[in-house]
Structure 1
Amino acid sequence: MIFSGEPATCIYLLLLAVACQALSGLPLLFRRGSAQAQRLSAALLAAASLAGLSGALIALLSPSIATVTIASGLPFGPFEAGVDPLSGFFLLPMFIVTGCAALYGVAYWPAALHAGNCGKLTFFLGLLAASLTTLLIAKSTILFLLAWEVMAFAAYFALTTEDEKPQVREAGTLYLITAHLGALALFAMFSLLKGETGEWLFPAAGTLSAQTGPAAAIFLTAILGFGLKAGCMPLHIWLPSAHANAPSHISAILSGIVLKTGIYGMMRVFSAFSDPPLWWGGTVLVLGLVSGVLGVAFAIAQHDIKRLLAYHSIENIGIIMMGIGIALIGESQGNPALTALGVAGALLHVVNHALFKALLFLSAGSVIHATGTREIDLMGGVARRLPYTALFFLAGAVAICGLPPLNGFVSELMIYLGSFTAISSTGGLSGMFPALTAPVLALVGGLAVACFVKVFGIAFLGAPRSEEHAGGHEAPGGMLAPMGVLALCCTLIGVAPGLLAKPLNNALSVYRSSLSGEWIENLVPFTWVSALAAGLITAALLAAYLLQRRATRLPVGSGPTWGCGYLRPTSAMQYTASSFGATLVSWFKIVLRPEVHREEVTGLFPERARFASHVPETVLERIYLPFLEYLFEKALPVRRLQHGKLNIYIFYTFITLVVLLALTSR
């Protein structure tokens, strides 16, 4: 093992974090169902997060690159790992979210009550965290692929913790299929990359030309392989079911971190090319625009709170890809300001989305823990019983909608500024694409506000809608504390975004050396953003104080809620998720294809009527599955080659090897 570069301290800290993460699941394997062993596992993951955060911060604040080379004994050469400000930006939220998820899981999934599967969950949670860290520091493409595959399997076993449920097994199988398809695309991409560079390492930034056929193939395979993991439309098919059926703290990691490995791979590969053509940026930007709009449209139509949050992950991946698309268009036009705003906006939104989406999933887990259901229409009045959880969910909702004074506003502002910069400085087709970003982003933000007004109003306000789900109590401190940490991080970035100016500048210089310097401070009004955030928080606190003071002086009384003329109002008269979003769903019905089940009221003395609506996973159920069924039918003759006899399979392998040797010898 050879260390090089300065400062090497961050590599030591990150390797220590990987070791603690990988070992964190062992105590529960040896002491099944032990609460002490579970707490020890959580402590190891928390210690790993603290060590890793220290290493990531050193990398973010220092432009130096520290590396370590490990002899592998493989024909691909030694493994090389290293950390720079670009990878540091992805490591930062990874350690925060995995640490918070580990602490949350002790109270949410206690070993004493889940002795049968808690050991499995904890082991693969630690392995997932270790593979994520390894993947983000890998400089060798083979080490990256090994960590990528370990991450895929660890995520599969973690999300299928409750594998006795058929829907969980189906979600896990779909995830595993798409993960392997993405890996096949990456095998092709890294092989092409090796052909261009002559070595199994990520190329340095700006060292390859994009004006070649292999470069176009590398770009397309990267979009396919990394896009399947990131969950951009229409490659998102595994995401809604996996996020919905995993334990809530695993959903937080899947959405907040695992999706971002696809974004990291795209940015790392795209940065290697110095002159990307316009169609590269246009392709990424269109995928981002489609993912943003359709992601939030599908979210509005959902009744399952975790599936709703999953579709918002697709929306936010779309926002990140908008930033990457703007950056690529800026590079193709030689516009460094456009490139800087696009890259910085995408990177900051990676951090922001990881924080507020993890906060929302943990808050949703607290609600599910209390009510015993994921269906929004069976909830109601949750805020009275879970006031702190309601407050944290509201903070996450404000952040994900891109509203000040929280962090989502800052990163979306950068992407807005990139769009405005393109409008003012770039003409023709290259200016039209980024110009579309501003109105589409505004539409996405407005729809996101409508969606979370629906969720908060139906689930947290009003009266309980179902007696069997009307109980529950506030989450214990072990679940509230991680939510508080995430909410605090969202607030800190929203109030003081200037703290991230230097790390962003350092990451920009790694992505493209021509962007070294104090770019972000000159392009983004951090001072005004901080003043706006501080003013809004001060005004909110002052209004709350005045209202509370006035309320203490007024007489307190109670009475029934006004029934709008009905003498016997019931909870069934409240808005439902379907009724609240019906108008918005109708706007996108061409894509969403909503299914309505209605029993009409007939006769003088009608029987009990019923109305229900459902929005299918259109891309999966209406496109992919019919296409696969068609392929299966047409491939029946080929299946005759599958005799189930080992000697026949060995013969097939021998013939294949002979053909390959003949082709390569030429």
Structure 2
Amino acid sequence: MFFDMMRDPASLVLCAIALAGCSGLPGLVFRDGTLGQRLAAVAALTSSLLALPSLLYLLLGGGEASFLLNWNLPFGPCEVALDPLSLFFLIPIFLVFPAGSLYALGYWPTASHSSQRSVTFFYGILACAMALVVVARNGALFMMSWEIMALSGYFLLVAEHREAEVRSAGTVYLVASHLGGAALLLLFASLFMITGGFGFPPAGSLAVGAGLAGTLFLLALAGFGSKAGLMPLHLWLPSAHANAPSHVSAVLSGVMLKVGIYGVLRVISFFPERPLWWGAVLTAAGLTSAVMGICVASAQKDIKRLLAYSSIENLGIICAGIGMFLVGQGTGNQRLAFLGLAGALFHVLNHAIFKPLLFFCAGSVMHAAGTRDLDRMGGLARRLPYTAFFTLCGAIAICGLPPFNGFASEMLLYLGFFGEARAGQPFVALGAPVLALVGGVAVIAFVKLYGIAFLGAPRTAEAAGAHEATGTMLAPMALLASLALVGGLFPQLFLALVRPAIRGFSPDLAHAAVLPIAPLWFALAGGSVICLAALLFLFLHLKTRGSAVSAPTWGCGYLRPSPRIQYTGSSFGALFSSLSGSLIRTRITMGAVTGLTPAAVRLSYHPEETLLHRVVLPVLNVVGVGCAFVRRLQHGEVQIYILYIFVTLMLLLLWVQ
């Protein structure tokens, strides 16, 4: 029986989920932390080798599976199922999780970090919990997995809890996670009242009134949108991704944000009719998040905060694609619906490739230069040539430029927006210039990131002494960069995974699942770009060979040029930051200059998001004052606690009477 189960692809997927959850246990058992970390990496790679072939087999072969466990909890049977949508969202989990485990061997070793054991343990728990969220078909099991996912993410985030900034980021993350979880509790409680059970309604079976359906949709958008980082529900995201270890940030951004997108799609699938305003809300929210996210990202000088805000941009693009799908369905435009859903799901897969790649590259840069501040880097391309190349690949992909995969998925959304200029919903065409604006600002942001970090001269001694990452760190980067290139040159390979998910989610789009552009076009266009870049490189290399000399950079008239006269990240983006002043402000701190011969003073500047620091934090401070007053009731005297209980019981008895 055991061997028969092992021949079942669905059973292998469940075994892989369990193995991922147990991957960190050896680190808690063995005294040698290095051995435990290596065994965890082996377990993560093994779970990926079990899961990915099985997922591809089931997804491409149209297979589905369902498992029922009669537990003793009063929530109905525990059901897990593998349908095309779940199979599709499991792929990023088992792609990024083992890559991060391998990366951590060089980036977060036991010898340098006392928190390695807990990070390795909760890293596997996080992957397992995300997978359980995706396969759960019972509201109680879903919420249990959701809370485990949130708590394991918290413990990973506060790995360096001795720093005040890390503790603050963890607190904000925990509060935001539980506020989103409260919205989901209301959602599943409402579903229980409607259906009489915690089991998920079958697709298209939840026929309720328009008002109740709208309420359920808004609860799902609040709960899942908070996890996906949609503005203005994103407040936990920048600080969490910036302060977590880089391989954890890669999973949080590349995978966990997509779990929020999965939740929105799963709830939408319950309803047979989806009002047109749902699509309008998602499209508007997505485009707003994309524009605001990348504008704030362009002003950042912290390399990981820049990447975190760009995740808000990309999740906004995905949300806009889902909104386009709903608008197409609501107006009977099957082509628009297909392009929106295909573009959104394709971008889910693409973002799960190039964003972890960029976080891995950022970790390599931080590992070498000892800082997250772009203004303290410079000249790293010569010292970290492989990291510089992989960062360039990721930057091109995230900007939506050929020949990498970001271009292919955004092209589908452009086709949908532009196509509507000639159709019955011309207002949808307004999304095209917004998406173009987002792409243009993304180019500014990542030209700044790459140019300031890798080009020019080193600005600090640490940057001058930087060294290349280890092989265990470079291997995941190389894998993800290769996948990003393959997805751009041959998008039909990735779309082969998207089409079954589309057919499973919306069977009426099966006949519309035709790529509007011939796949050969992408290969030719991308190949031409690669050839032109190679020819230009060879031309410049041959032209300067033998004639190049080393000399100090011209200092614009200064007799002793210094790296300090180079552009910094803040000065490079100063013009655009001034144009987006309503979204971002710069806090400048400078010491006093006194006397005829003043001593050196320190000047620092830090970009701050206006919404967070002008609106949300003041409100939270007021709430904190109120909570501090209520906390006086918690004084540790057992007798008074018993009195509280007695008074509460008496009030309840009076209320019942």
Would you call these one fold, judging by a TM-score over 0.5?
yes
Whether the 8 Å contact between 2:89 and 2:134 is mirrored in structure 1 is yes
Structure 2 CA distance for aligned equivalents of residues 491 and 169 of structure 1 = 38
| 2:344 aligned partner | 346
| Alignment map for 1:397-476 (pairs within 5 Å) | 397-427=395-425, 431-432=426-427, 434-476=428-470
Letter in 2 for 1:595: R
Whether the 8 Å contact between 1:223 and 1:266 is mirrored in structure 2 is yes
- Aligned to 1:252, the other structure's residue is in SS state helix
Shift in CA distance, 175/424, structure 1 to aligned 2, threshold 3 Å? same
| 2:646 aligned partner | 651
| Alignment map for 1:520-539 (pairs within 5 Å) | 520-539=513-532
| 1:253 aligned partner | 251
Structure 1 CA distance for aligned equivalents of residues 490 and 369 of structure 2 = 36
Moved more, 616-625 or 447-456: 616-625
| 2:575 aligned partner | 583
- Aligned to 1:206, the other structure's residue is in SS state coil
* TM-score where L is the length of structure 2: 0.94
1:360-393 Cα shifts (integer Å, max 9, x gaps): 0000000100111111101110111100000011
Structure 1 CA distance for aligned equivalents of residues 243 and 273 of structure 2 = 43
Q: Does 1:557 align with 2:559?
A: no
Whether the 8 Å contact between 2:582 and 2:610 is mirrored in structure 1 is no
| 2:203 aligned partner | 205
Whether the 8 Å contact between 1:284 and 1:325 is mirrored in structure 2 is yes
Shift in CA distance, 407/606, structure 1 to aligned 2, threshold 3 Å? same
| 1:511 aligned partner | 505
Residue 653 of structure 1 and its aligned partner are, at CA, apart by 5.2
| 2:71 aligned partner | 72
Shift in CA distance, 361/290, structure 1 to aligned 2, threshold 3 Å? same
1:53-87 Cα shifts (integer Å, max 9, x gaps): 12221232122321111112122111111112212
Letter in 2 for 1:442: A
Q: Does 1:548 align with 2:546?
A: no
**RMSD over equivalenced CA pairs, Å:** 2.6
| Alignment map for 1:267-306 (pairs within 5 Å) | 267-306=265-304
Identical residues among aligned pairs (%): 48
Q: Does 1:484 align with 2:478?
A: yes
Moved more, 324-333 or 537-546: 537-546
Shift in CA distance, 21/183, structure 1 to aligned 2, threshold 3 Å? same
Structure 2 CA distance for aligned equivalents of residues 393 and 283 of structure 1 = 34
**Long gaps (5+) in structure 2:** none
Residue 638 of structure 1 and its aligned partner are, at CA, apart by 6.6
Whether the 8 Å contact between 1:32 and 1:119 is mirrored in structure 2 is no
Residue 209 of structure 1 and its aligned partner are, at CA, apart by 3.9
Structure 2 CA distance for aligned equivalents of residues 658 and 510 of structure 1 = 52
| 2:321 aligned partner | 323
Shift in CA distance, 624/528, structure 1 to aligned 2, threshold 3 Å? same
Letter in 2 for 1:647: I
Structure 2 CA distance for aligned equivalents of residues 653 and 173 of structure 1 = 30
Whether the 8 Å contact between 1:230 and 1:263 is mirrored in structure 2 is yes
| 2:88 aligned partner | 89
Residue 658 of structure 1 and its aligned partner are, at CA, apart by 5.1
Residue 162 of structure 1 and its aligned partner are, at CA, apart by 1.2
Q: Does 1:568 align with 2:560?
A: yes
Structure 2 CA distance for aligned equivalents of residues 68 and 127 of structure 1 = 21
Whether the 8 Å contact between 2:283 and 2:320 is mirrored in structure 1 is yes
Letter in 2 for 1:325: G
- Aligned to 2:402, the other structure's residue is in SS state coil
Letter in 1 for 2:90: L
- Aligned to 2:272, the other structure's residue is in SS state coil
Counting matched residue pairs gives 653
| Alignment map for 1:21-420 (pairs within 5 Å) | 21-114=20-113, 116-209=114-207, 211-420=209-418
Shift in CA distance, 653/324, structure 1 to aligned 2, threshold 3 Å? farther
Shift in CA distance, 82/549, structure 1 to aligned 2, threshold 3 Å? same
1:564-623 Cα shifts (integer Å, max 9, x gaps): 222111111001111111110111102223334568999997765765432223222211
Whether the 8 Å contact between 2:378 and 2:455 is mirrored in structure 1 is yes
Letter in 1 for 2:18: A
**Long gaps (5+) in structure 1:** none
Residue 533 of structure 1 and its aligned partner are, at CA, apart by 1.2
Structure 2 CA distance for aligned equivalents of residues 635 and 26 of structure 1 = 38
- Aligned to 2:573, the other structure's residue is in SS state helix
Structure 1 CA distance for aligned equivalents of residues 197 and 232 of structure 2 = 33
Structure 2 CA distance for aligned equivalents of residues 104 and 641 of structure 1 = 47
Whether the 8 Å contact between 2:224 and 2:264 is mirrored in structure 1 is yes
- Aligned to 2:206, the other structure's residue is in SS state coil
Shift in CA distance, 194/421, structure 1 to aligned 2, threshold 3 Å? farther
Structure 2 CA distance for aligned equivalents of residues 32 and 308 of structure 1 = 38
Letter in 2 for 1:366: S
- Aligned to 2:367, the other structure's residue is in SS state helix
- Aligned to 1:418, the other structure's residue is in SS state helix
Q: Does 1:16 align with 2:15?
A: yes
1:180-211 Cα shifts (integer Å, max 9, x gaps): 11111001111222333333223333223475
Whether the 8 Å contact between 1:101 and 1:253 is mirrored in structure 2 is yes
Residue 219 of structure 1 and its aligned partner are, at CA, apart by 0.6
Structure 1 CA distance for aligned equivalents of residues 655 and 321 of structure 2 = 43
Residue 557 of structure 1 and its aligned partner are, at CA, apart by 2.3
Structure 2 CA distance for aligned equivalents of residues 324 and 171 of structure 1 = 30
Residue 252 of structure 1 and its aligned partner are, at CA, apart by 0.4
Structure 2 CA distance for aligned equivalents of residues 648 and 220 of structure 1 = 40
* TM-score where L is the length of structure 1: 0.93
1:96-146 Cα shifts (integer Å, max 9, x gaps): 1111000000111112332x2111111001111111111111122221111
Structure 2 CA distance for aligned equivalents of residues 648 and 478 of structure 1 = 60
Structure 2 CA distance for aligned equivalents of residues 418 and 7 of structure 1 = 43
Whether the 8 Å contact between 2:69 and 2:78 is mirrored in structure 1 is yes
Structure 2 CA distance for aligned equivalents of residues 660 and 531 of structure 1 = 75
